[in-house]
Structure 1
Amino acid sequence: MTLQITQETFDNTVRENVDEFEMSLEEAIKETIEQFKTQGVDLSHIITDWMMASSADSPELADAIVRLDELVKGEVKDLQALITQLSIIRAECDKGVNYKVLAGVNYKVLAGRKGAYNVIMKVLSKYEADTNIVKECLNALISLMTQNSDFLDENGVQMMVRLLDTQKDLDILKSTLKWTKECCILHEMNRQHIFSADILNHLTTALHDPSSAMLREVLSVLRALVLDDDPRLEFGRAHEHARAIASDTLCVITSLLEKFKHDSAVINDLLLTLSALLVRTEFCKKVEDAGGIQIIHEAMNNFKNNDKIVKQCLKVLKALAGNDECKTHIMRRGIAPDIVMVMQLHQKTAQTVIFGLACIAALTLRSPDNSKALFEAGAPNAIVDAMRMHPDNESVQKNGSWAIRNMVSRSRYQSQKFLELNAEEVLKAAAKKFKNSEYDMKAALRDLGCNVEFKEEWTGKGGKLYTQNKK
Structure 2
Amino acid sequence: MAKRRITQETFDTVVSENIEEFEMEGNEALQEAIEQFESQGVDLSNIVKEVPKVSSEENAEDQTHKVLQALESLKSAVSSSTSVLEDLRVFTEQCSLDFARRYLAAQKEAYPTILTCCQRAGEEKELLSVALAALSVLTDGQPDLLDVEGREFLIGALTTHQSDPALTCQCIRIVRHFCLKHENNRQAFVKAGALALLTGSITRHIEHHEVVREACVALRVMTFDDDVRVPFGQAHEHAKMIVLEQNGLKVIVEAAKAHPENTAVLSELCATLSRLAVRNEFCQDIVELGGLKFMITLLADSLDCQELVKQVLSALKAIAGNDDVKDAIVNMGGAELIVMAMNRHMANAQVCEQGCAALCVLALRKPNNCKVIMECGGALAAMQAMKNHPAEVNVQKQSCMLLRNLVARTRDFTQAILEMGAEALISKALSTHRDCGDVGRAALRDLGCQVELRELWTGKKGSLSH
Q: Which category of TM-score, normalised to the shorter sequence, fits these structures?
A: 0.7 to 0.9
**Paired residue for 2:131?**
137
Shift of 1:448: 0.9
Q: Distance between the aligned counterparts of 1:291 and 1:59, measured in 2? A: 55
The whole-number CA distance in structure 2 between the counterparts of 1:326 and 1:56 is: 67
* Matching residue of 2:195: 200
Q: 1:94: Cα distance to partner?
A: 2.0
How far did residue 48 of structure 1 move? 7.5
Contact 1:60 1:88 in 2 (8 A): no
2:16 paired residue number: none
Runs of 4+ aligned residues of structure 1 deviating over 6 Å after TM superposition are 46-50, 53-56, 462-466
Does structure 1 conserve the Cα–Cα contact (< 8 Å) formed by 2:46 and 2:104?
no
> Is the counterpart of residue 190 in structure 1 residue 185 in structure 2?
yes
Secondary structure of the corresponding residue to residue 295 of structure 2: helix
Alpha-carbon distance between aligned partners in 2 of 1:147 and 1:462, rounded to the nearest angstrom: 51
In structure 2, C-alpha distance between the alignment counterparts of 1:288 and 1:129, rounded to whole Å: 44
Question: Does 1:243 find its partner at 2:240?
Answer: yes
Work out the CA distance in 2 between the residues paired with 1:260 and 1:464. Answer: 65
Aligned twin of 1:177:
172
For structure 1, which segment, 196-205 or 257-266, has the greater mean C-alpha deviation from structure 2 after superposition?
257-266
Deviation at 1:47, TM superposition (A): 7.6
The verdict on how the C-alpha distance between 1:322 and 1:427 changes in structure 2, with shifts beyond 3 A counting, is same
Q: Match for 2:110: what amino acid?
A: A
AA matched with 1:74: S
Do residues 224 (structure 1) and 218 (structure 2) align?
no
> How far apart in 1 are the matches of 2:105 and 2:379?
56
Matched positions, count: 420
SS of residue in 2 equivalent to 1:319? helix
Residue 284 of structure 1 aligns with which residue? 283
> Aligned to 1:95, what secondary structure does the other structure show?
coil
Letter in 2 for 1:182: H
Partner of 2:80: 74
CA drift at 1:191: 1.4
Q: Which one-letter code corresponds to 1:348 in the other structure?
A: A
User: Partner of 2:227: helix, strand, or coil?
Assistant: coil
The residue type paired with residue 85 of structure 1 is: D
- Secondary structure at the aligned position of 1:380 is classed as helix
186-195 or 411-420, which deviates more = 186-195
Deviation at 1:155, TM superposition (A): 1.4
Is residue 214 of structure 1 aligned with residue 234 of structure 2? no
Alignment map for 1:43-192 (pairs within 5 Å): 57-76=63-82, 79=83, 82-96=84-98, 106-167=100-161, 168-192=163-187
Q: Hey, what does 2:24 align to over in structure 1?
A: none
Question: 2: distance between equivalents of 1:271 and 1:285?
Answer: 16
Distance in 2 (CA, whole Å) between partners of 1:326 and 1:375 is: 19
TM-fit CA distance, 1:354: 0.3
What amino acid maps onto 1:252 in structure 2? Answer: V
- Following superposition, the deviation at residue 49 of structure 1 comes to 6.4
In 2, the alpha carbon distance for the partners of 1:241 and 1:439 equals 32
Contact 1:380–1:417 (CA under 8 A) maintained in structure 2:
no
Equivalent residue number for residue 26 of structure 2 = none
Write the distance in 1 (CA, Å) between the matches of 2:180 and 2:283: 26
In 2, distance between residues paired with 1:75 and 1:435?
63
Q: Distance in 1 between matches of 2:146 and 2:109?
A: 12
SS in 1 for 2:412: helix
Give, in whole Å, the separation in 1 of the partners of 2:308 and 2:62: 46
Q: Return the letter of the residue paired with 1:142.
A: S
Q: Find the residue that maps to 1:150 and give its secondary structure.
A: helix
Task: Tell me the amino acid that sits aligned with residue 461 of structure 1.
Answer: K
TM-aligned CA distance change 1:420 to 1:47, over 3 Å:
closer
Name the amino acid aligned to 1:238: A
Q: How does 1:402-417 map to 2 (within 5 A)?
A: 402-417=401-416
Q: Does structure 2 retain, via aligned residues, the 8 Å contact 1:344–1:382?
A: yes
Once the two structures are TM-superposed, the CA of residue 171 in structure 1 deviates from its matched residue by 2.1
TM-score (norm 1): 0.82
Q: Matches of 2:272 and 2:315 in 1, distance apart?
A: 9
Report SS of the residue matched to 1:413. coil
Q: Residue 134 of structure 2 aligns to which amino acid in structure 1?
A: A
How do residues 292-441 of structure 1 correspond to structure 2 at under 5 angstroms?
292-441=291-440
Percent identity over the alignment is 32
In structure 2, how many angstroms separate the alpha carbons of the residues matched to 1:271 and 1:331?
Answer: 19
Per-residue deviation, residues 332-389 of structure 1 (Å, max 9, x unmatched): 2232221211111111111100001111111111111111111122212112111122
Structure 1: where are the runs of 5+ without partners? 15-25, 35-42, 98-105, 467-471
CA distance in 2, matches of 1:180, 1:195: 11
Does the CA contact (< 8 Å) of 2:172 and 2:198 recur in 1?
Answer: no
Q: Partner of 2:144: helix, strand, or coil? A: coil
Separation in 2, partners of 1:241, 1:130: 34
CA drift of 1:462 comes to: 6.7
In structure 2, the CA distance between the partners of 1:158 and 1:368, relative to structure 1 (3 Å rule), is same
Distance 1:455 1:93, change over 3 A: same
Give SS of 2:224's match. coil
Residues 353 and 396 in structure 1, CA contact (< 8 A), matched pair in contact too: yes
Q: 1:66 to 1:388 in 2, by over 3 A?
A: closer
Residues 75 and 341 of structure 1, relative CA distance in 2, 3 Å threshold: closer
Provide Cα deviations, 1:313-346, integer angstroms capped at 9, x if missing partner: 1111111111112112222223222121111111
Q: Distance in 2 between matches of 1:156 and 1:112?
A: 14
Please tell me whether the aligned partners of residues 315 and 355 of structure 1 are also in contact (alpha carbons under 8 angstroms): yes
